[in-house]
Structure 1
Amino acid sequence: MVRLPLTPAEVERGERLGALLRAARGERSMLGVALDAGVSPETLRKIESGRVATPAFSTIAAIAGVLGLSLDAVWAEIDADAAAPGRVAS
């Protein structure tokens, strides 16, 4: 299977996701959060740095759960189109 290149919007959304997770993690160790979420510290590091712009839903759900973030709040924070005028809710 060939993976298509990410769009600039996907890359930007991945960067926003990483920044959100870093901020929510605060002073907690990356290792501790990753282990509690059941992901590798390397995976969390890549997501936080924006290197993995489109992580699996289950990965984000697990990390968000450990950090006490709702998935609705995560999406509202990272979706650039949410505040766009004339946007129709899906």
Structure 2
Amino acid sequence: MVRNPLTPEEHERGERLGLLLREARGSRSMAEVAAGAGISAETLRKIETGRAPTPAFFTVAALARVLGLSLDDIVGQCALIAVA
């Protein structure tokens, strides 16, 4: 299966998601948060740095649960916006 390239807007959304997750993680280690969400620390690192800008819904939901974020807040802060 060939995946369509991501748009600049999708890359920007991934960067905003990563920033939101990093801020919510605070002083907790990547390993601690990743383990709580049932993902690898490397997967969390890729999401936080924007190298995985479109993580699966259930991955985001698990991270939201561990970090005490609501999915509504994540959507509000990471909705697609036009990039000039």
Instruction: Report TM bin, short chain.
Output: over 0.9
Partner SS state of residue 42, structure 1? helix
Comparing both chains, which one has the higher relative contact order based on Cα–Cα distances under 8 Å and sequence gaps of 6 or more? 2
**Which of these two proteins has the greater Rg computed from alpha carbons?**
1
- Give the number of equivalent residue pairs: 81
Unaligned runs of 5+ in 2: none
Unaligned runs of 5+ in 1: 82-90
Q: State the identity %.
A: 65
Given the alignment of the two structures, is residue 47 of structure 1 paired with residue 47 of structure 2, yes or no? yes
TM-score (norm 2): 0.94
User: Hey, what does 1:72 align to over in structure 2?
Assistant: 72
Given the alignment of the two structures, is residue 25 of structure 1 paired with residue 25 of structure 2, yes or no? yes
TM-score (norm 1): 0.88
RMSD: 0.8
Q: Provide runs of 4+ in structure 1 moved above 2 Å.
A: none
